């Protein structure tokens, strides 16, 4: 584990400075990477960059999850376990953010397995391939309301006939939705899948699976921009009440309360991060916490450390 006590304090210090200088962003983008991609946004990153370029001040966050399909490079976590953990991670991240910033608009961008976990979290319906039997939407109603657009690229849950399906595929992916499935947030979603793709469709060109941003990026950006423009709050800080008092006071108070809450969360996180085990920072939820030749944290700041095999243990709920 590369994190150190010093690095943790520097990171938390940076977050504290951000919180003290800014309120919640108007737009917040969650991105989820594809299988075996390194931690971060993976192929979803290019789409996220396009959105941010059109919306100054927008912020983004990568979903932390295994993004694995049994490969040793990602700890040999099975695809099903990875997708299940990822679905939960999306719901937790979105719900927590919405609690902190209830007025911020949210955009979801997921690529391949990253699209699947966002699909599961936003549309519900269960996922037998990932061992998810609960068919309810795990994202809260208040958070769903603030999700304005979801861009899913190469999502293996694709099936022909979806109202939000875009592309040339006329069949389905290896974990396709049931024919006739209806997502309760369908109007907010665009799922891109072409016939050549062997993961979201039944094609044989794996390289095509990586082409969706170049093929459909501009179209997806237009969709996102239209959804965000349709819900932009036009109220200004100069609006006044009947008594002549401006709403600026109320807004300032709300911002101050939000900052206080976020700073408290940062402090709590710092206390958790530096008190686990024998003084070593504990791994975050979904992080590695053990295995042969593992030299990092062996405790979890959230969840419990569960062993998948002799070489990989992970913090899970």
Model pLDDT, residue 110: 99
**Mean pLDDT, rounded, for 115-134:** 98
- If pLDDT is split at 50, 70 and 90, which confidence band does 241 have? very low
Question: Is residue 102 within 8 Å of residue 146, measured between CB atoms?
Answer: yes
Residues 137 and 279 in one domain: no
Question: In sequence order, what are the residues at sequence separation of 6 or more whose Cβ sits closer than 8 angstroms to the Cβ of residue 273?
Answer: 8, 12, 281, 282, 301
Nearest to 169 by CA among 208, 134, 201: 201
- If pLDDT is split at 50, 70 and 90, which confidence band does 296 have? low
Q: Is the pLDDT of residue 243 over 70?
A: no
Strand partners, 189: 150
Catalytic residue, candidates 82, 112, 270, 313: 112
Residue 5 lies in a domain: no
Give the sign of the dihedral formed by CA 306, CA 312, CA 301, CA 92: negative
Residues 304 and 193 in one domain: no
Residues 142 and 206 in one domain: yes
Residues 275 and 147 in one domain: no
Q: Is the pLDDT of residue 175 over 90?
A: yes
**Mean pLDDT, rounded, for 232-236:** 42
Is 112 assigned a catalytic role?
yes
How far, CA to CA in Å, does 72 sit from each of 68, 69, 217, 288?
Answer: 9, 9, 32, 13
Catalytic residue, candidates 209, 270, 301, 313: 209
Residues 226 and 252 in one domain: no
Residues 168 and 258 in one domain: no
Model pLDDT, residue 82: 98
Q: Is the pLDDT of residue 13 over 80?
A: no
Burial class (CB in 10 A: 0-12, 13-18, 19+), 263: middle
Residues 63 and 197 in one domain: yes
**Mean pLDDT, rounded, for 112-124:** 99
Q: Where are the alpha helices (DSSP H) in 101-158?
A: 113-123, 141-146
Residues 54 and 189 in one domain: yes
CATH number of the domain bearing residue 93: 3.40.50.1820
Domain housing 216: 23-230
Q: Is the pLDDT of residue 277 over 90?
A: no
Q: Is the pLDDT of residue 61 over 50?
A: yes
Residues 185 and 225 in one domain: yes
Residue 243 lies in a domain: no
Question: Is residue 267 within 8 Å of residue 282, measured between CB atoms?
Answer: no
Question: In sequence order, what are the residues at sequence separation of 6 or more whose Cβ sits closer than 8 angstroms to the Cβ of residue 219?
Answer: 166, 190
Looking at the chain, the whole-number percentage of residues with pLDDT higher than 70 is 69
Catalytic residue, candidates 119, 155, 194, 197: 197
- Of 147-161, 255-269, 295-309, the one with minimum mean pLDDT is 255-269
User: Average pLDDT of the chain?
Assistant: 80
How far, CA to CA in Å, does 104 sit from each of 137, 288, 294?
Answer: 20, 31, 39
Helix (H, G, I), strand (E, B) or coil at 290: strand
**Number of domains, the chain:** 2
Is 209 assigned a catalytic role?
yes
Residues 126 and 159 in one domain: yes
Q: Is the pLDDT of residue 158 over 50?
A: yes
Place of tokens 């983004």: 60
Instruction: For strands 189-192 and 312-316, give the pairing.
Output: unpaired
Model pLDDT, residue 126: 98
Q: Is the pLDDT of residue 292 over 90?
A: no
Residues 279 and 219 in one domain: no
Q: Is the pLDDT of residue 65 over 70?
A: yes
- Of 74-88, 120-134, 231-245, the one with minimum mean pLDDT is 231-245
Q: Is the pLDDT of residue 276 over 60?
A: no
- If pLDDT is split at 50, 70 and 90, which confidence band does 5 have? very low
- Of 60-69, 73-82, 198-207, 233-242, the one with minimum mean pLDDT is 233-242
Residues 184 and 295 in one domain: no
Condensed to tens digits (0 to 9), the pLDDT of residues 72-114 reads: 999 999 999 999 999 999 999 999 999 999 999 999 999 999 9
Distance CA 286, CA 302 (A): 9
Which has more pLDDT, 310 or 65?
65
């Amino acid at each position: 584990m590369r994190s150190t006590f010093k690095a943790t304090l520097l990171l938390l210090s940076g977050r504290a400075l951000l919180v003290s200088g800014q309120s919640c962003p108007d737009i917040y983008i969650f991105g989820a990477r594809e299988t075996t991609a390194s931690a971060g946004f993976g192929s979803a990153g290019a789409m996220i960059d396009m959105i941010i370029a059109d919306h100054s001040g927008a912020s983004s966050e990568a979903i932390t999850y295994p993004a694995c399909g049994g490969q040793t490079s990602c700890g040999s976590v099975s695809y099903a376990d990875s997708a299940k953990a990822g679905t939960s991670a999306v719901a937790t991240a979105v719900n927590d953010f919405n609690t902190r910033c209830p007025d911020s608009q949210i955009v979801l961008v997921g690529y391949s397995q990253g699209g699947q976990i966002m699909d599961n979290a936003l549309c519900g319906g269960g996922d037998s391939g990932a061992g998810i039997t609960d068919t309810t939407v795990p994202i809260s109603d208040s958070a769903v309301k603030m999700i304005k657009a979801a861009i899913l690229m190469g999502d293996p849950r694709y099936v022909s006939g979806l109202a939000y399906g875009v592309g040339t595929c006329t069949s389905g992916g290896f974990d396709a939705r049931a024919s006739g499935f209806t997502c309760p947030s369908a109007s907010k979603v665009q799922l891109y899948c072409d016939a050549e793709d062997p993961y979201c469709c039944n094609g044989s060109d794996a390289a095509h699976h990586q082409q969706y941003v170049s093929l459909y990026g501009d179209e997806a950006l237009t969709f996102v921009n239209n959804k965000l423009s349709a819900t932009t709050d036009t109220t200004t800080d100069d609006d006044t009440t009947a008594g002549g008092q401006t709403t600026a006071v109320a807004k300032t108070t709300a911002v101050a309360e939000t900052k206080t809450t976020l700073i408290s969360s940062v402090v709590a996180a710092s206390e958790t991060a530096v008190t686990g085990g024998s003084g070593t920072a504990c791994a975050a939820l979904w992080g590695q916490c053990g295995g042969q030749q593992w030299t990092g944290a062996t405790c979890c700041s959230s969840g419990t450390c569960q062993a998948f095999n002799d070489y990989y243990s992970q913090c899970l709920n």
